[in-house]
Structure formats: C-alpha cells, structure tokens
Amino acid sequence: MHDFKYVGGQLFCESVSVEGLARKFGTPLYVYSQKTLTDHFHKLDRAMAGVPHRICFAVKSNGNVSILRVLANLGGGFDIVSAGELGRVLAAGGNPANCVFAGAGKTEAEIEFALEQGVYSFNVESVPELDRIHRIAGRRKKIAPVAMRINPDVEAFTHSKITTGTHENKFGIPLEDVEAVYARAAKMKNLRLRGVQMHIGSQLTRVSPFEKAVRKVLPMVRRLAETYELEFFSIGGGLGIVYQPALASGQEEWWRLPGARDILTPQKYAASLLPLLQPLGLNILLEPGRFISGNAGVLIARVEYVKKTARKTFVIVDAAMNDLIRPAFYDAYHEIVPVRRRTGATLKADVVGGICESGDYFCKDRRIAQIREGDCLALLSAGAYGFVMASNYNARPLPAEVLVNGRKFALARRRQVVEEIWSGETIVPWLK
Ligand SMILES: *Cc1c(COP(=O)(O)O)cnc(C)c1O
C-alpha cells in the first residue's frame, strides 16, 4: 500500500528517516515516496493490460512538478482542469498531447492556451462550452479535439462533496442529451469528435457504481463510437484508497484488518470492467488522482503543546487546516502516527492546529500513541488533495515538500518565505 514503515521504532519513508527530514527541512513538511507513486501506477497499468489504455494522472490531486515528472517518466498522461495545471505539466516536461482537459468552467483564455499547446482532448461539459471551443478553434484556424462528458446519473456512494455523476451535480451532459450534442458537434467543422468521457466521483470504495455507470452508458458509447469513429472512452478516476488505521494500531499488514477485503483493488476494478470495455475496441483512458498519489504522501507536524483540560486533551501541532483541509472540508479521516515511537500509555486526544477556527482539527477524541512536546507526528495518506488545497490563511507560509527515492531525498518545493505571502499586495496611492 505504501512505503512509510517503522524501522527500529522510527518512521521511515523508503530508506530515509522521516525525523531526519523534519530536522533538515523543518515542519510542517509534506514527504512523498516515489516508490509508492510508481507502484500504484504500475498496479493499475498491469490490471488494465487487457485493453489498450492510457493512465492520465489527475493533476489536481497533487500537482508538484517532481511528482508530475515521475508520472511522465512512467509513460502517464495527465487529466488537467485549468490552464495553470497545463502549465504545471509543461514545466514538469510532460507532453500536452497526452493531456485531457476537463472542467465545467473553461475560460476563453484557457481554451486558447490548451488549443495552442495541442491537448489530446477537451472534455466538454456543456453546450455553451462546445460552442465556445468551436468559435475559438475557428478564429485560430485549428481543429479542436473534443469528447463529451456524460453524466450517467448514478450514485457513487461517497461523500456528497466528491459525488459528481448524478443529475444533482453541475458536471457533464445529462445522458439523455448526449447523442443530440454529438450530432450538433458533428456539424461544426472546426471540431474533431475524438472520444467520450465520464467521471462519477472520488474515493469510491466499491466497484459496483463504476460497473453500473459503464453498463448504463455502454450502448450509447458503442453507437457514438461507430457513428463518429471515436478513438477513446475515458472512464474517469475515483478509485478509493485505504485511510483507516493500519500503522497506528500496530497492524502494518492492513489487508488483514477487518473490512480490508472490501477494499477496491485495481484487480477487482479491472475484473469487473474489462469484460465490458474489451468489445468496444476503443482506447480506454483512466484519470486516477488519489489512487496514485494519496498513500504516497504524508504530512509531518511537530507537537507545540499538549494541553490538558478537565475534560479533554488537545495536542496542538504546527500544521493546521491551511496545510491539510481534508478533515475540515470532507470530514476526512487521516491516520496519525508518531514519527518516533515512545513507550507508555496511549492518550485520547484531539489533534489540532493553531488557527482560530473550530474546524481546525485533524482528529477528535482519538486514541493516539504516547507523544510529548517537540515530537513529530505523521498524518498519513496526505498525498492527494493535501498540499494542492493548502492556503495562506492566518498568513501561514505554504509548507515545504520533499520527494524520497530509495536513499535519496530532495526538496521538491522549498518552504514559502513569509514575506512572499503579501509580496503582491500594495498600499493604495491615496493611503500613502
Ligand atoms: C477529480 C477528477 C479526477 C480524479 O479523481 P480521483 O478521485 O482523485 O481519482 C478524474 N477525472 C476528473 C474529471 C476529475 O474531476
């Protein structure tokens, strides 16, 4: 699952001591394992070997240019949702011809930039967007490759903030309208109909919603592929990962935990989808983000205070919701383990940041290992939707990021200097 393990009571990322990294680079600190990234990419790649396919990593889950370079070197493409993300892919040395451009709000400037760079496909989410892409392509005397994003209206059984494939959501074109939109697009001479796409949500822990969605759209995809000579069918991302306790319970073999058998593995995913996808004869695109990056990263925080009140214990750390917002935003669970194990009774505590928001917590009333002021804690599975959602709230600098590969480690992003936070601000003339 990942390459963060205890060796002699000390947490290691691959062959590197996490405490050593915290000492060298300071905290809060994101630490990523190149091996975990690579393993997860290969697991999915191998599982899908039965169909021609391409894995397009969802840049929004972790956009660090070193992470993107790792995936580009593995032969991956990218799923981007903004011109900024396309810029990141270019900065990482990725190939725009392997990028699919999603998102319901593409601006004129973004479409122009993506067209200029030659993305593989615009995944279109509405008729006005289709019209806009066509207009811009005409103006630029180019042919824009497009695919419609189908909203199949299936329940994903995940958190409401990460459900995207029902008619309650803003995403995609309703199933019943899709064929008419293709017919309309086919008449636009500056468009090339290249494929068809869907994405039903994130952190799915069962294969049934994926299967249901694919079954539901399959007859239409087959018709569209034949009529318009499409090249690809993208089944989106959304594969869930294990967040629940493994290391903390002393149980490092997470697959032996109760419930672990229900975890969605690439094998299960492929076993249920390949028989449906194979007969299509299309290139299958996958857009996983979290599955590749989630377990590949941890956030290291140092304990500032252990504050005991009559009713509770608060472990106040130097990371906060601005560094990792998932608990506050999605009620997300992150396993929290000490970087150096101490003997002694566990304690029941809230692990919190120092921000003036009651939402600023990482866990509540949880049994955690014995720790003291000055110790480091690791928040596991923070590689996806972690740093990318970090902000400067409370004028806190963005944390540093480190990539580990075997015995090697290096900064993938230096810690933000505090003055950089307001460097774009000015005192307006009449106040000077
Ligand atoms: C967010 C997103 C993904 C990736 O989702 P994960 O759950 O991280 O795999 C893939 N495709 C689209 C269109 C997305 O918006």
At 102, list the tokens. 């999603």
Confidence label for 259 from pLDDT (cuts 50, 70 and 90): low
What mean pLDDT is predicted for residues 344-353?
A: 94
Q: 57, 61, 71, 164: which to mutate for ligand 1, most atoms within 8 A of CB?
A: 61
- 179 Cα: distance to centroid of ligand 1 (angstroms): 24
Q: Which residue, among 84, 74, 67, has the nearest Cα to 32 in the 3D structure? A: 67
What mean pLDDT is predicted for residues 316-345?
A: 94
* CATH numbers and ranges of domains, the chain: 34-289 (3.20.20.10), 296-422 (2.40.37.10)
The span from the CA of 36 to the CA of 39, in Å, is 5
pLDDT tens-digit readout, 231-244 = 999 999 999 998 87
What pLDDT is stored for residue 1 in this prediction?
A: 64
Radius of gyration of the chain (CA): 23
Percent of the chain with pLDDT over 70: 96
- 288 Cα: distance to centroid of ligand 1 (angstroms): 6
The DSSP line for 173-192 is EEHHHHHHHHHHHHT-TTEE
The span from the CA of 229 to the CA of 67, in Å, is 34
pLDDT tens-digit readout, 292-328 = 999 999 999 999 999 999 999 999 999 999 999 999 9
Q: Which of 13, 56, 99, 356 is catalytic?
A: 356
Predicted model pTM: 0.95
pLDDT higher than 80, residue 217 = yes
8 Å CB contact between 388 and 401? no
What pLDDT is stored for residue 156 in this prediction?
A: 78
The span from the CA of 427 to the CA of 161, in Å, is 38
Q: Tell me which DSSP letter residue 356 carries.
A: S
Sequence-ordered list of residues with C-beta below 8 angstroms from that of 137, at least 6 positions apart, any chain: 115, 143, 144, 190, 191
pLDDT tens-digit readout, 247-257 = 444 444 444 45
Environment class of 421 (CB within 10 Å of its CB; exposed 0-12, middle 13-18, buried 19+): middle
What pLDDT is stored for residue 247 in this prediction?
A: 46
pLDDT higher than 70, residue 258 = no
Environment class of 291 (CB within 10 Å of its CB; exposed 0-12, middle 13-18, buried 19+): buried
Atom of ligand 1 nearest to the CA of 197: 13
pLDDT higher than 60, residue 48 = yes
- 423 Cα: distance to centroid of ligand 1 (angstroms): 33
8 Å CB contact between 221 and 149? no
pLDDT tens-digit readout, 114-161 = 999 999 999 999 999 999 999 999 999 999 999 999 999 998 777 777
Q: Does residue 19 line the site of ligand 1, with CB under 6 A?
A: no
What pLDDT is stored for residue 249 in this prediction?
A: 44
What mean pLDDT is predicted for residues 72-81?
A: 98
- HSE, side-chain direction, 13 A CA sphere, residue 12: 14
What pLDDT is stored for residue 200 in this prediction?
A: 92
At 239, list the tokens. 């594969």
For the chain, give the mean pLDDT: 94
User: Could you confirm whether 99 is annotated as catalytic?
Assistant: no
What pLDDT is stored for residue 12 in this prediction?
A: 97
Least confident among 41-50, 299-308, 340-349, 397-406:
340-349
What mean pLDDT is predicted for residues 224-229?
A: 98
Question: 3-class secondary structure for 40-88?
Answer: HHHHHHHHCCCCCEEEEEEHHHCCCHHHHHHHHHCCCEEEECCHHHHHH
8 Å CB contact between 126 and 151? no
Strands 400-405 and 29-33, sheet pairing: parallel
Q: Does residue 98 line the site of ligand 1, with CB under 6 A?
A: no
What pLDDT is stored for residue 251 in this prediction?
A: 44
- 348 Cα: distance to centroid of ligand 1 (angstroms): 35
What pLDDT is stored for residue 158 in this prediction?
A: 75
The helix/strand/coil state of 126 is coil
The span from the CA of 246 to the CA of 18, in Å, is 18
Q: Does residue 58 line the site of ligand 1, with CB under 6 A?
A: yes
Strand partners, 301: 377
What mean pLDDT is predicted for residues 365-394?
A: 96
Q: Tell me which DSSP letter residue 89 carries.
A: H
Q: Does residue 237 line the site of ligand 1, with CB under 6 A?
A: yes
8 Å CB contact between 25 and 401? no
- The residue whose two tokens read 């009333």 is 365
The span from the CA of 152 to the CA of 323, in Å, is 34
